[in-house]
Amino acid sequence: MTEKWQQIQGIYVHIPFCMQKCLYCDFASFAGKSGLMHQYALKVCEEIRSRAAEMKVEGRATVYFGGGTPSLLPPGDLKLIIAELRQSKLWLEPAEVTLEANPGTIDANRLSAYRRLGIDRISFGVQSLNDAELKRIGRLHTAQEALAAIASAREAGFARVSADLMYGLPGQTLTSFEQTLKFAIASGVGHLSVYGLTIEEGTPLAAAVSDGSILLPDEEECEAMYDQTIRCLEQKGFRRYEISNFAQSGQESLHNIVYWNYLPYMGFGSAACSFDGQRRRTNAEAIEDYLKGSAPSLEEIATRTGFAEAMFLGLRKTDGVDLMEIKRRFGIDACEFLAAESASSIKKGLLRLDGKKRRLSLTEHGMKFGNEIFRLFV
């Protein structure tokens, strides 16, 4: 029998173009490069053709267009890429096809075009529904534009709509964050990803925080926002299924679950990563380097490393890790491997072991201190 980790379970296409870099962003995305879009789409098609036979693709493998801002790519160029995925037998009967979008880059015509192309899920980078907060982090859209984009997506027939939110933003208060949550829930989205702001070295935001020109909420305020997220969303029918992700029934991100289950996926485009279960391949990050065919970087993953990565990714999910599957896949008994460490974490109320189902998971309290647990496997 073919195991899930022996077939590609997800297809990722990176669209690196942005109108403007947000102050906090250190992703592989670039502003001012729109003139390269068509050439880029053709190069992605070329890569898909050349690599399609690398590994067998599961028939229901998910497809995800991420960025950057995929909604900036003209629908005609997106159509070319999708046609190549179909022709190359990588787009079969996907369980889910997601496109990331930024409010302000979307209109009714584009949304209708996406639906015709077979995209059935849209994920909006909203971050906040407070105009002052949006401006402080360099977002180009307003709160009203974000809500209008969500409404337009629903009107266009998207039954699966997600929004990303952030807490710990400059000038944000518990009250303003609660308002953002309230407005997001009322918008009708079925999925919310809620992340604490991370200050990445080398970003404009990091420099502004360092020189004191931007002040952030303190640790106590951020913890209150985190706690409010859990309370508010669960009261409104959003089940927490991963540390930072909440969904109404049937609205979970199937593509991201591929990553958290440490299953194989193929990535196309600049900076895109592929993983076949034993090695990682990462394409050149700069658009120009990718276009000229710069060689990807390759990383062999030792069994011990794969085990560690599978454990700390799997523990991000609220239902945790199937220990029998881990043992079949890596030949390592996680409980024996951890021994005293896992017993200590269980005693502290950070980990939960279901002996009958052979599952290990973080408790709700443990989700606050996930990094402490993840370090056990490094």
Q: For residues 47 and 167, state if they share a domain.
A: yes
Q: Do both 239 and 338 map to the same domain? A: no
Q: How many domains does the chain have?
A: 2
Same domain, 35 and 179: yes
Q: State which H helix or E strand residue 336 sits in.
A: helix 334-338
CATH for 255: 3.20.20.70
In a domain? residue 280: no
Query: Do 248 and 129 reside in the same domain of the chain?
Result: yes
Strands 8-15 and 265-268: parallel
Q: What is the pTM of this model?
A: 0.95
Residue 306 lies in a domain: no
Judgement on whether residues 153 and 234 belong to the same structural domain of the protein: yes
Q: Does residue 241 form part of some domain?
A: yes
Q: Which of 156-170, 192-206, 238-252, 260-274 has the lowest mean pLDDT?
A: 192-206
Residues 31 and 131 both lie in one domain: yes
Domain span holding position 133: 4-259
Does the pLDDT value for residue 23 go beyond 80? no
Domain assignment present for 305: no
Beta-bridged to residue 267, according to DSSP, are 12
Stretch 287-312: mean pLDDT = 96
253 and 326 both lie in a single domain: no
Percent of the chain at pLDDT > 90 equals 78
SS3 8: strand
> What is the CATH number for 327?
1.10.10
Asked if residue 344 and residue 254 are part of one domain, the reply reads: no
* Integer CA distances (angstroms), 75 to 41, 79, 328, in order: 11, 6, 43
In a domain? residue 122: yes
Structure tokens at 328: 């079949």
Residue among 32, 34, 42 at smallest CA distance from 71: 34
pLDDT at residue number 223:
95
Q: Are 44 and 13 in contact (CB under 8 A)?
A: yes
Let me know whether 18 and 163 are in one domain. yes
Task: Please calculate the CA angle 187-191-192 and round it to the nearest 5 degrees.
Answer: 85
Last residue of a domain, one of 259, 279, 305: 259
Judged against a pLDDT cut of 90, whether residue 139 lies above it is answered with: no
Q: Average per-residue pLDDT in the chain? A: 93
CB neighbour list of residue 282: distance below 8 Å, 6 or more residues apart: 271, 272, 273, 274, 296, 297, 299
Q: Measured over all CA atoms, what is the biggest interatomic distance in the chain, rounded to whole angstroms?
A: 59
3 state SS of 158: coil
